[in-house]
Amino acid sequence: MKIALASDHGGFALKEQIKEHLKNRGFELLDLGTNSEESVDYPLFGKACGEAIASGKAELGIICCGTGIGISIAANKVCGVRCALATNEYMAEMAKKHNDANILALGGRVLNLQEATKIVDTWLDTEFEGGRHQRRVDMLNEM
């Protein structure tokens, strides 16, 4: 499975740490930037990840900014994206289980590496339940 990664300057350090964790888990990665802590505009990177998912260049995405809020809003502007901001494992589990989130957003100034790694692993290891949730995901996809 290929996972797209993107961040702004506020999420850069966390993205780099998550990238190493995902490499160790054996995932193929597509790093869409940014490549330093120099100030950049988060909408560009949220959009880039959203477009990578929508086009099929990657199956899933993980994006980071300072809080995860701005970059998740940007990603959700791309048709076909269901980006969820998670600050704990339960949110990550429900994002996948009930919403079939295809992008996970994290806050580099909100989470430490241990917390973020648990959230990422929970999200990746959780399956979409389908069933009654499929109708709702279909509604989201039609919007």
Q: Helix and strand tally (H, E) in the chain?
A: 6, 5
Let me know: does 30 contact 60? Beta carbons within 8 Å: no
From the candidates 49, 64, 65, 83, give the one annotated as an active-site residue. 65
Number of residues written out for the chain: 143
Active-site residue 98, yes or no? yes
CB-neighbour burial class of residue 64 (10 A; exposed 0-12, middle 13-18, buried 19+): buried
Active-site residue 83, yes or no? no
- Written as six digits, the tokens of 125 are 């290891």
DSSP result, 11-66: THHHHHHHHHHHHHTT-EEEE----SSS---HHHHHHHHHHHHHHTS-SEEEEEES
- Please identify every residue annotated as catalytic: 65, 98
